[in-house]
Structure 1
Amino acid sequence: MSKSVMEIQQSFRQLRMVETADGLTDLLRKAEQKSWTYLELLEELTTFELKKREEKSIEKRLNWARFPYHRPIHMFRVEEQDAITERQLKQLREYEWLEQNYNLILLGPPGAGKTLLSVGLGIEAINKGFQVYFITMGELIQLLKTEEYVNKSKIQLKRLRASDLVIIDDIMYMAMDQREATLFFQLVHQLYEQSSLILTSNRSPEEWTEIVGNQGMMTAILDRLLHRVEVIHMNNESHRLKNQQRIFKD
Structure 2
Amino acid sequence: MNESDTRRARAGALNLHGLLAHWNEVASEAWVDTLLGWEERERGRRGLERRLRAAHIGRFKPLCDFDWNWPKRCDRAAIDALMTLEFLEDATNVVLVGPNGVGKSTIAQNIAHRTLIEGHAVLFTSAGQLLGDLCALDSDSALRRRLRHYARPQLLVIDEVGYLSYSNRHADLLFELISRRYQNKSTLVTTNRPFAEWREVFPNAACVVSLVDRLLHHAEIVSIEGDSWRLKEARDRAEQRTRQRREVKS
- Aligned AA (1:194): N
1:84 maps onto 2:104 in alignment = no
Offset from partner CA, 1:10-45 (integer Å, 9 cap, x none): xx9xx7559x9xxxxxxxxxxxxxxxx944x33322
C-alpha distance in 2, partners of 1:175/1:84?
29
C-alpha distance in 2, partners of 1:213/1:150?
25
| Aligned equivalent of 1:218, options 192, 205, 208 | 208
| Aligned equivalent of 1:185, options 168, 175, 180 | 175
C-alpha distance in 1, partners of 2:41/2:135?
40
Uncovered stretches (5+) of structure 1, i.e. residues with no partner: 1-11, 21-36, 237-250
| Aligned equivalent of 1:62, options 48, 52, 75 | 52
Q: CA RMSD in A?
A: 2.8
User: How far did 1:143 drift?
Assistant: 1.0
Q: Pick which of 209-218 and 223-232 moved more.
A: 209-218
* Percent of paired sites with the same residue: 25
Offset from partner CA, 1:196-237 (integer Å, 9 cap, x none): 11111111111102332346411110111000111111116x
Q: Taking structure 1 as reference, are residues 179 and 128 closer, same or farther at Cα in structure 2, changes over 3 Å only?
A: same
C-alpha distance in 2, partners of 1:73/1:132?
19
Q: Pick which of 111-120 and 191-200 moved more.
A: 191-200
C-alpha distance in 1, partners of 2:42/2:144?
30
Q: Taking structure 1 as reference, are residues 115 and 150 closer, same or farther at Cα in structure 2, changes over 3 Å only?
A: farther
Offset from partner CA, 1:153-197 (integer Å, 9 cap, x none): 887654322111111111132222222211111111111112211
Partner SS for 2:158: strand
8 A Cα contact 1:106 1:234, kept in partner:
yes
Partner SS for 1:106: strand
8 A Cα contact 1:168 1:200, kept in partner:
yes
C-alpha distance in 2, partners of 1:76/1:229?
24
TM-score by length of 1: 0.72
User: How far did 1:129 drift?
Assistant: 0.4
8 A Cα contact 2:122 2:153, kept in partner:
yes
C-alpha distance in 2, partners of 1:185/1:199?
13
8 A Cα contact 1:147 1:154, kept in partner:
no
TM-score by length of 2: 0.72
Partner SS for 1:174: coil
1:127 maps onto 2:117 in alignment = yes
1:141 maps onto 2:136 in alignment = no
C-alpha distance in 1, partners of 2:102/2:146?
28
C-alpha distance in 2, partners of 1:102/1:90?
16
User: How far did 1:61 drift?
Assistant: 1.0
Partner SS for 2:74: coil
C-alpha distance in 2, partners of 1:186/1:210?
19
Matches within 5 A, 1:228-243: 228-235=218-225
Q: Taking structure 1 as reference, are residues 149 and 71 closer, same or farther at Cα in structure 2, changes over 3 Å only?
A: farther
8 A Cα contact 1:73 1:123, kept in partner:
no
Uncovered stretches (5+) of structure 2, i.e. residues with no partner: 1-10, 20-27, 227-250
8 A Cα contact 2:60 2:106, kept in partner:
no
Aligned residues: 204
C-alpha distance in 2, partners of 1:220/1:78?
34
Offset from partner CA, 1:80-124 (integer Å, 9 cap, x none): 434122x33332121110121111111111110000000011111
Q: Which has the higher contact order (CA 8 A, sep 6+)?
A: 2
Partner SS for 1:133: strand
2:246 — aligned with what?
A: none
Partner SS for 1:169: strand
